[in-house]
Amino acid sequence: MGLYLNNVVTLEFNAGQCIGCGRCVEVCPHAVFTMVDAKLSVHDRDACMECGACAKNCPVQAITVEAGVGCAQAIFNSWRTGKLECDCDASCCGGAKKEKE
């Protein structure tokens, strides 16, 4: 997976709240999380595309992310509009820079 931007992801993880169920590892499309000795570790925070799957599947709300602000939102919008527009250079969306009006 590619790196989008350094240190701008809205992903937050509360280790004290985590029960180590691993659901976030299962649903994350970019392998942001890993399990180490039955404890969750944020392996690559900057790889997060802010889709929100981890937060929605966390049974104890140990993960928060502002879904709909990253590349994932651009991809979802393209399904609705038929046009892929994104402000990044990431490979997940083809690096389709948003057209300036």
Question: 75-93: string of b/e by CB count within 10 Å (b at 16+)?
Answer: beebeeeeeeebebebebb
Residue from 36, 34, 73 nearest 52 by CA: 73
Domains of the chain from N-terminus onward: 12-93 (3.30.70.20)
Please check the confidence at residue 5 and state whether its pLDDT lies above 60: no
Whether pTM exceeds 0.75? no
Q: pLDDT tens digits for 42-96?
A: 999 888 888 899 999 999 999 999 876 566 666 667 777 877 666 555 555 554 4
> What does the pLDDT read at residue 17?
95
12-46 pLDDT, tens digit each: 999 999 999 999 999 999 899 999 988 999 999 88
